[in-house]
């Protein structure tokens, strides 16, 4: 029987929520103090209609802060006009240079763009994934969040019984490749079938953890696939992502395609820059967590964190918060010789 647990790591500048399924991280939710409330999933906002693209059937909305959101035009929206105020709800957050997606709530509103009601809190979302479960905090939550963050950024995931799958996203889709590897036992066709069936559950968990959605294409191992069995396994594995998940048949090229609704920003969009490396903000928040952990472990010691200048600059605005909690015994030291993802914590 599957069991989900929920954990909450409240750090300086950032809160991370983790859903754990049978001991493995399944979802990672991140909320930062720099997040823009009108851009958050579930937020209800008064927006201004900035422009129309009637050829594509889209309306671009000024939310007041951040990038424009997109509203899909419907035939019953003929009264909408440029400059008009409308109430909308954010149905999918911005991602990869594309604005958030919204749905129309009310055309009879007035006034400038503004937040009407914030989206659900991170705690509310966690509780929705595991109703009735006790929320765990403290050191266990921090360890779980660190593990989830690390695993969410991985590419290759092992399959039970041998083999692996790799997950890589492109601008158009998320590609999943199943590899039999050195799976033991039986002839090749049976080994490929077992790997493909195992891959459905692993892919479902990994994609949830990564926060990836949209079009997904799975390149199955072997040939001559049992389409009905694979589709049944896929539907069961991705049931937690419904409603809205849609599957196509296994193609003659040995691929399985399906779509997962996009809702929150992916973890890669959250943590990484366009170059695929952690942003300065991500590194700065990691640095603060390390300093906090060191201060908790050594209540009387002086803590100096040496890191790359960009990471120190990102962490510096939050240092006073640590001082308020632990005293002025914590210090940041920029060091151009430090690699971007490495830092040193010295305790004296």
Give the Cα separation of 132 and 152 in Å (integer): 26
Residues 219-229: tens digit of each pLDDT:
999 888 999 99
For residue 346, CA distances in Å to 302, 333, 343 come to 8, 11, 10
Domain range 274-347, CATH architecture: 2-Layer Sandwich (3.30)
Whether the Cβ atoms of residue 191 and residue 149 lie closer than 8 Å to each other:
no
Whether the Cβ atoms of residue 343 and residue 335 lie closer than 8 Å to each other:
no
Higher local confidence (pLDDT), 37 or 96? 37
**What's the angle, vertex CA 335, arms to CA 330 and CA 339, rounded to 5?**
110
How confident is residue 339, by pLDDT bands cut at 50, 70 and 90? very high
Question: Residue 7: which residues within 8 A CB-CB, separation 6 or more?
Answer: 17, 18, 20, 135, 136, 137, 140, 141, 144, 145
With residues binned 3-state (H G I as helix, E B as strand, rest as coil), the percentages for the chain, rounded to 5, are 30, 30, 40
Give the Cα separation of 348 and 346 in Å (integer): 7
Give the Cα separation of 199 and 193 in Å (integer): 10
Give the Cα separation of 87 and 102 in Å (integer): 10
Q: Percent of the chain having pLDDT more than 90?
A: 82
**What's the angle, vertex CA 141, arms to CA 302 and CA 152, rounded to 5?**
105
Q: What is the mean pLDDT of residues 149-159?
A: 96
Give the Cα separation of 278 and 256 in Å (integer): 32
Strand partners, 301: none
Residues 5-16: tens digit of each pLDDT:
999 999 999 999
> Residue 185 pLDDT > 60, yes or no?
no
Residues 105-126: tens digit of each pLDDT:
999 899 999 999 999 999 999 9
Pick from 28-32, 74-78, 116-120: least confident: 74-78
**How many residues comprise the chain?**
348
Q: Which CATH class is domain 42-117?
A: mainly beta
Q: Among 172, 173, 169, 170, which residue's Cα sits nearest to residue 155?
A: 169
Q: Alpha helices, DSSP H only, in 211-330?
A: 227-237, 267-271, 280-297, 309-315, 319-326
How confident is residue 217, by pLDDT bands cut at 50, 70 and 90? very high
Give the Cα separation of 143 and 212 in Å (integer): 23
Fill in the DSSP letter of residue 96.
T
How confident is residue 186, by pLDDT bands cut at 50, 70 and 90? low
> Residue 215 pLDDT > 60, yes or no?
yes
**Three-state DSSP class for 268?**
helix
Tokens of residue 210, six digits: 């990564």
pLDDT at 183: 65
């Amino acid at each position: 029987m599957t069991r989900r647990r929920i954990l909450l790591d409240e750090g300086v500048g950032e809160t991370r929520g983790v859903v754990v399924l049978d001991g493995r991280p399944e979802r990672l939710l991140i909320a930062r103090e720099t997040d823009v409330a009108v851009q958050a999933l579930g937020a209800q906002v008064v927006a201004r209609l900035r422009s129309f693209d009637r050829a594509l059937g889209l309306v671009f909305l000024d939310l007041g802060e951040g990038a424009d959101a997109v509203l899909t035009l419907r035939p019953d929206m003929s009264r909408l006009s440029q400059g008009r105020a409308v109430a909308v709800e954010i149905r999918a957050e911005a991602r990869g240079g594309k604005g958030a997606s919204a749905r129309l709530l009310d055309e009879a509103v007035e006034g400038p763009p503004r937040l009407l009601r914030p989206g659900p809190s991170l705690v509310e979302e966690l509780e929705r994934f595991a109703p009735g479960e006790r929320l765990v905090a403290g050191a266990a939550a921090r360890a779980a969040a660190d593990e989830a963050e690390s695993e969410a950024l991985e590419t290759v995931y092992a399959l039970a019984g041998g083999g692996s799958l790799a997950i890589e996203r492109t601008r158009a889709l998320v590609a999943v490749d199943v590899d039999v590897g050195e799976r033991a036992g039986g002839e090749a066709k049976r080994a490929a079938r077992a790997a493909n069936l195992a891959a459905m559950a692993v892919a479902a968990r990994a994609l949830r953890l990564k926060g990836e959605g949209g079009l997904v294409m799975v390149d199955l191992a072997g040939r001559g696939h049992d389409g009905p069995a694979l589709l049944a396994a896929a539907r069961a594995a991705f049931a937690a992502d419904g409603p809205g998940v849609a599957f196509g048949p296994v193609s003659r090229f040995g691929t399985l395609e399906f779509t997962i609704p996009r809702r929150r920003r992916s973890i890669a969009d959250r943590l990484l820059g366009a170059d695929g490396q952690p942003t300065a903000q991500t590194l700065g928040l990691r640095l603060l967590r390390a300093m906090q952990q060191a201060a908790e472990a050594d209540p009387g010691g002086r803590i100096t964190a040496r890191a790359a200048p960009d990471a120190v600059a990102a962490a510096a605005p939050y240092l006073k918060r640590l001082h308020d909690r632990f005293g002025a015994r914590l210090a940041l030291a920029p060091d151009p010789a430090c690699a971007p993802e490495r830092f040193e914590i010295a305790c004296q």
